[in-house]
Structure 1
């Protein structure tokens, strides 16, 4: 028999027009509590995976007066997959985020919907654990910013994401140092922060 999480997996697969294996889905579920030390970011990822946010389509089903169209692009219905990934207005942001990780970790990280939405993909699971952690938090931060501009006609900017990342990483640093995980912190975030420090020093 299907359990609720299977229904959610199938709903994401339908909206993203892509198959997500049961194994990858279980991996994504198991990583919710490790995506960040910050409980708020864990909650964001939990709600995304379990489809607990109100999409434009869902709101239209409750209140027919509300248009099901995406507020950003006005060219397609606002499913959860559209609002987090498919919307053409998000293309620039997601492209810049994946390019940022590719540049800073010297790996070719291609934009993939499973990684962006679920927090992991078949390819990302083959990467070093430290890079998997960095990618997962980066994806959660992006989705948090999208939620903050849920009803806006403009998407979050890459600069906003980068500022938020630096802020979040500093909080991760405080918590990980307190837990005597300094070396892990440096392995996870050293490559990301190295270029940022160069920019600051040269500015």
Structure 2
């Protein structure tokens, strides 16, 4: 179905912001409510008093919608979602239950099996989603892993298939196809970065992690059996923040993730985790807290001093 809550450019300046002010907020506004056919520009302009200068913006929006190859049912689902429910995890789940096949996890597992060239079961994905909600209270990190599990980020291969680029090769290295796994984990341009991340995870947990596609389904310590829950939780959060750091330079051909940017994100999360514990918003987990204490001890002296000045304390009680 694509992005069922897509609002074209609502938060940026330009013609799409003007469209939003005239009532063209959701994709279903671009379709005829009766026939569910895509409206031509003249009809859309008359209905919402749009300027003829906005024609090229219309072509851009039309091209975006046509990449989905929506059926009539998909357009109706878009309209129903945008007008009856809010954009929340609960509503997304309800929408999936209403409009996706009952075996949607099996379909997703099949896609991951193809990506990893190894079997992935529905139960493994179900566990991944459950863990996502139970151990990641941060809504931003939940959304990040939700998009990863659904393989929904626009990598170089997807952009090529949409006709937006001339090649599916990675814009960073140019050596292999720039699929999600390659761009996030395997590209030579991110290899030094992941080496540092995994070194830090080892220093904090005492366990060796793996920078492999299957780690995106759970955590870098997935091969350790049994793996203490607190250590797995810390490794998962460190991995997601590393992915977020990579995504911050996703579209820049020469951009590379830096250790400093990742450490800054980890340091901020360290403070939030401590505040959650001392305020009683989270159940205490000594193993998990020990990992964060080890992370703090491994920070450079200047970073430790800045944290202490800002009010951080090693006391999590």
Normalised by the length of structure 2, the TM-score is: 0.56
Q: Is the 8 A contact 2:277 2:284 kept in 1?
A: no
Partner of 2:218: 119
Residue deviations 1:120-177 (CA, integer Å, cap 9, x gap): 3642462111111101101111111122211122321222211211112212222232
SS in structure 2 at match of 1:31: helix
Q: Relative to 1, partners in 2 of residues 1:82 and 1:197: Cα closer, same or farther, differing over 3 Å?
A: closer
SS in structure 1 at match of 2:157: helix
RMSD: 2.7
The separation in 2 between residues aligned to 1:124 and 1:28, in whole angstroms, is 16
Match status 1:136 vs 2:200:
no
Partner of 2:296: 193
Residue segments in structure 1 that go unaligned for 5+ positions in a row: none
In the alignment, which of 114, 117, 124 is matched to residue 14 of structure 1?
114
Partner of 2:200: 100
In the alignment, which of 139, 154, 176 is matched to residue 39 of structure 1?
139
Q: Is the 8 A contact 1:32 1:45 kept in 2?
A: yes
How far did residue 84 of structure 1 move? 1.4
Partner of 1:148: 248
For 1:19-30, list aligned pairs within 5 A.
19-30=119-130
How far did residue 200 of structure 1 move? 4.5
Residue deviations 1:91-115 (CA, integer Å, cap 9, x gap): 1111221111112222233433322
Partner of 1:161: 262
In the alignment, which of 271, 276, 279 is matched to residue 175 of structure 1?
276
List 4+ stretches of structure 1 deviating above 6 A: none
Count of residues paired in the alignment = 202
Q: Relative to 1, partners in 2 of residues 1:6 and 1:101: Cα closer, same or farther, differing over 3 Å?
A: same
SS in structure 2 at match of 1:46: helix
Q: Relative to 1, partners in 2 of residues 1:3 and 1:157: Cα closer, same or farther, differing over 3 Å?
A: same
Would you tell me which structure has more helix in proportion to its own residues? Answer: 1
SS in structure 1 at match of 2:234: helix
The separation in 1 between residues aligned to 2:148 and 2:211, in whole angstroms, is 18
SS in structure 2 at match of 1:89: coil
Residue deviations 1:42-68 (CA, integer Å, cap 9, x gap): 100111101121121111111254532
How far did residue 179 of structure 1 move? 2.3
Normalised by the length of structure 1, the TM-score is: 0.84
Q: Higher relative CO (CA 8 A, sep ≥ 6), structure 1 or 2? A: 1
